[in-house]
Chains A and B, each alone.
Chain A
Amino acid sequence: METLSDPVLLSRIQFAVTAIFHMLWPLVTVGVSLFLIVVEVLWLVTRDVDYYRHTNFWTKLFLLNFTIGVVSGIPLEFEFGTNWAPFSNLAGEFFGNILGFEGAMAFMLEAGFLGIMLTGRTRVTPAIHLFSTCMVALGASLSVFWIMVANSWMQTPAGGHLEQARFQVDDYSAAIFNPGMPESVAHMWVACVETSIFVVGGISAWYILQGRNTEFFLKSFKVVLLAAVLIAPLQLFLGDTQGREVFTSQPAKGAAIEAHWETNPPGSGAAWNILAWPNKEAQNNDWALQVPDVLSLLATSHPDGQVLGLKEFPAEDRPPMLPLIFYAFRIMAGIGFALFGLVLWTLWAWSKGRLAPERAAGNRLLLRAWMISIPLGYLATECGWIVREVGRQPWIVYGLLRTRDAASTLPAENVAASLAVFVALYLMLLIVFLVLAVQIVRKGPDLTLTPVQRVGLYRSSRGGQDVQDGDIYRGE
């Protein structure tokens, strides 16, 4: 096979595999850590012990998820050096710097307080425990911020110039607040929150549907539902904003997303392809289902605004794999609207009193819909990333460095071997995660749990640490 002998392609596949796999975990780390703050505050304010039990229950799933996120994240940073040495050389001053910020600010904060959040209840005061939970959540969100700064700089590089094939930063604030940054940070952060909402909501819905601990899980269900009322429409708005930004700063990507080949003549609107099959060789769509003028509206807010078509760009500057970009975008946007619809439906059911404990399990269709949405946030986010990264090709840093010039010279067999090990390890981790997560959910929350008293830290100079084998993190 030709692919197996091209080290650049192999490096690209390896980065795609490791990034797509890693992306699954921070999505929930970011959102569920915020959810954990909410339930912990609810516990401290209302003294309703159910909320205490909620923190305990969701922390177990959080830890499982967090672990795989941590171990799968480290390779990404190193791959820039191992597989993309010329890129690291060109972009390191800014890009490496930003990754360093992420490590120093975000990961250290998370790692520093995670242990206390997980097992520190017996050792610190409730206030310090809450503070630790907040720091873990802050760390997770800061990491979204810095990683999106770094990535959006690859999309819309700014704030410096090339000198001897290295990007020299002239203005750090311009480089950090590069044109695409605010939109991408917001869109990604809200994606994390929205995915987590439907994970927590979907799992709660499963229990409610089973009639298991209905009242208990209606509490978590309503917490995330209230958040979803804000988040789901916000994400649609942010997606639309981001879309316009793409048409401004990366018009070739915008045209690829919409399979738009010909620039619309002045005075006429560009038609929007609802569905189509773009054909690179024919430089046209094999077939298309169109609505007139809508693309101009979407991209420019004017019915006859000019939208550059793919043909405006030399063939070597056009993104590859057009159908992938086109459909990944539609899956993402479709899921965004579907989840918004589900929120409206649930609100309607709530207003009709159908979420009362004795009637809740009766909403079979609604609860099933929530369960089905557990994977949808993940799917939408991964599709969004595919649009973002494949759509930026053939560039690794848009307009500055082409992907094919950015790869390390490596023997294909070495990259193929590391790729194979990554695939095997990650498949194993995914299976183990699913098995253990199902175990935790099947077992359910411990409803006999009572809040523990602080006994450890300041009681004696040799506090000691008693652990139960197999129960290391459930000593609370």
Chain B
Amino acid sequence: MENEIHAILANLWFFIIALILILYIVLDGFDLGVGILSLLTRNEDRRAVMMSSLGGVWDANETWLVVLAGAVFGAFPAVYAAVLHALYVPVMAMLFGLILRGAALELRSQANNKTPWSLAFGVGSLLAAVTQGLALGTLLEGVPLEGGVFVGGAWGWLTPYAVLWSFAVLAAYTLFGAAYLIIKTEGRLQKFSRRLAKASSVLLVFVGLIVIPLTLSLHPHVAQRWAEIPLIYFLIVLLALAFYMLLDSLRKGRELSPFFWSVTIFLSVAGIMALSHYPYVIPAAITIQDAAASSKTLVFMLIGIGMLLPVMLIYNSYQYLVFRGKVRLGRHKVTEQA
């Protein structure tokens, strides 16, 4: 009985953490994506609009990462320790990227010379996205553990599979970023964003077509899953449909739908991944229940963090409501639209 309660709690926390991860990937994904895309324009006014579109929300977006880390740390301490230990180099690089882009985003508005700050913002965003992709890829490939402790080398994360995943994450983030900019901008910048969204989705399809067969050959248990669970094929159909709808909405010049379909693409992929690896938190090494903290802790966290999630979501949404609408560059409006 006690064991079953623990299993339920552990699964519940796995679900909550997955939810926080999804929120983080979508919200900071478009945030980092806008940063990466800002590298593709030389026009300082455009960069200003791109960065301003994040002004009121970037801090909250990034805070989901802090909440995510805290939730994993408390609910699955062994995973937190093993994974971060294994990923020392990419995690440190991600932190440097986040420091650089966060500082640049805010300090740029006060600085006289804008260009170095814009560059730091773009490069920091790119670094954070690439390293998050490497981290995700390493995790999905499997981390060598003995007795729950990381025993691999410091550079074990640098594998072709992880590099492929980092391209996938890069493409997904730029897609989110471009779709967000379509909502927040108008005129030439919006057209530019449409082109970028199209390019990102092509890259995403391309990477996906390599990653999927590679995953099936790398993890026999995933291939077995795919043979057993029909839901996975439903999600693959949904994925294909979402891609079609995304390209269609871009062609038709829709403003909100590209973001919606980008998120649908991501959610289908996330669903496929979860079904492929469940109940492992670290594929083929640690299961959810093995890694979970005691029932007492999980219940206490549920009261403290679980209950707060809806509240956080409410004031997060309020923030988007307050800052809704197009971003325009007051003083330089003429130059941008000329």
Footprint of B on A, CB under 8 Å?
60, 63-64, 67-68, 70-75, 77-78, 80-83, 85-86, 88-89, 91-105, 107-116, 118-120, 123-124, 166, 168-170, 172, 408-411, 414, 418, 421, 425, 429, 432, 436, 439-440, 456-457, 462-475
Query: Do residues A96 and B294 form an inter-chain contact, with CB atoms below 8 A?
Result: no
Residue of A with least CB distance to B111 = A436
Query: Do residues B325 and A97 form an inter-chain contact, with CB atoms below 8 A?
Result: no
B249: Cβ under 8 A from any A Cβ: no
A70–B91 Cα distance when bound, in Å, is 17
Which B residues are in CB contact (< 8 Å) with A75?
Answer: 95, 99
Known contacts A78-B91, A119-B55; A96 and B77 CB within 8 A of each other: yes
Query: Do residues B77 and A88 form an inter-chain contact, with CB atoms below 8 A?
Result: yes
Which B residues are in CB contact (< 8 Å) with A414?
Answer: 88-89, 154
Footprint of A on B, CB under 8 Å?
44-45, 48-49, 51-52, 55-57, 59-60, 62-63, 65-67, 69-75, 77-78, 80-85, 87-89, 91-92, 95-96, 98-100, 102-103, 106-107, 109-111, 114, 148-150, 154, 293-294, 296-297, 300-301, 304-305, 308-309, 312, 315-316, 318-319, 321-332
User: Could you say which of A64, A119, A168 contacts B56, with CB atoms under 8 Å apart?
Assistant: A119
Which B residues are in CB contact (< 8 Å) with A471?
Answer: 109
Which B residues are in CB contact (< 8 Å) with A82?
Answer: 84-85, 87-88, 91-92
Which A residues are in CB contact (< 8 Å) with B99?
Answer: 71-72, 74-75, 425, 429
A465–B327 Cα distance when bound, in Å, is 5
A337–B241 Cα distance when bound, in Å, is 70
A92–B89 Cα distance when bound, in Å, is 22
Residue of B with least CB distance to A432 = B107
User: Could you say which of A67, A88, A92 contacts B107, with CB atoms under 8 Å apart?
Assistant: A67
Which A residues are in CB contact (< 8 Å) with B150?
Answer: 85, 408
Residue of A with least CB distance to B305 = A104
Q: List 7 tightest A-B contacts by C-beta distance, closest first.
A: A92-B77, A96-B73, A81-B84, A100-B70, A115-B56, A97-B74, A96-B74
Query: Do residues A107 and B80 form an inter-chain contact, with CB atoms below 8 A?
Result: no
Which B residues are in CB contact (< 8 Å) with A473?
Answer: 55, 109
Query: Do residues A418 and B92 form an inter-chain contact, with CB atoms below 8 A?
Result: yes
Which B residues are in CB contact (< 8 Å) with A410?
Answer: 85, 88, 154
Query: Do residues B67 and A107 form an inter-chain contact, with CB atoms below 8 A?
Result: yes
Q: Would you give the shortest CB distance from B143 to chain A, in whole angstroms?
A: 12
A468–B55 Cα distance when bound, in Å, is 12
Residue of B with least CB distance to A77 = B69
A245–B144 Cα distance when bound, in Å, is 44
Query: Do residues B100 and A96 form an inter-chain contact, with CB atoms below 8 A?
Result: no
A98–B66 Cα distance when bound, in Å, is 12
Q: Would you give the shortest CB distance from B148 to chain A, in whole angstroms?
A: 7
User: Could you say which of B92, B110, B308, B324 contacts A463, with CB atoms under 8 Å apart?
Assistant: B324
Query: Do residues A108 and B328 form an inter-chain contact, with CB atoms below 8 A?
Result: no
Query: Do residues B95 and A78 form an inter-chain contact, with CB atoms below 8 A?
Result: yes
Query: Do residues B305 and A92 form an inter-chain contact, with CB atoms below 8 A?
Result: no
A409–B86 Cα distance when bound, in Å, is 10
Q: Would you give the shortest CB distance from A164 to chain B, in whole angstroms?
A: 10
Q: Would you give the shortest CB distance from B289 to chain A, in whole angstroms?
A: 15
Query: Do residues B315 and A421 form an inter-chain contact, with CB atoms below 8 A?
Result: no
Query: Do residues A103 and B296 form an inter-chain contact, with CB atoms below 8 A?
Result: no
Known contacts A108-B67, A463-B324; A94 and B102 CB within 8 A of each other: no
Residue of B with least CB distance to A128 = B322
Query: Do residues B70 and A99 form an inter-chain contact, with CB atoms below 8 A?
Result: yes
Residue of B with least CB distance to A114 = B59
User: Could you say which of A78, A119, A169, A472 contacts B84, with CB atoms under 8 Å apart?
Assistant: A78
A91–B80 Cα distance when bound, in Å, is 11
A60–B294 Cα distance when bound, in Å, is 45
A34–B338 Cα distance when bound, in Å, is 46
Q: Would you give the shortest CB distance from A428 to chain B, in whole angstroms?
A: 9
Which A residues are in CB contact (< 8 Å) with B73?
Answer: 77, 80-81, 88, 92, 95-97, 99-100
Residue of A with least CB distance to B328 = A466
A74–B92 Cα distance when bound, in Å, is 11
Query: Do residues A120 and B329 form an inter-chain contact, with CB atoms below 8 A?
Result: no
Which B residues are in CB contact (< 8 Å) with A411?
Answer: 154
User: Could you say which of A86, A439, A468 contacts B330, with CB atoms under 8 Å apart?
Assistant: A468
Known contacts A93-B293, A168-B294; A465 and B70 CB within 8 A of each other: no
Known contacts A104-B308, A112-B312; A77 and B322 CB within 8 A of each other: no
A92–B81 Cα distance when bound, in Å, is 9
Q: Would you give the shortest CB distance from B150 to chain A, in whole angstroms?
A: 7
Known contacts A72-B99, A473-B55; A421 and B92 CB within 8 A of each other: yes
Query: Do residues B312 and A108 form an inter-chain contact, with CB atoms below 8 A?
Result: yes
Which B residues are in CB contact (< 8 Å) with A109?
Answer: 315
Known contacts A101-B304, A111-B59; A408 and B85 CB within 8 A of each other: yes
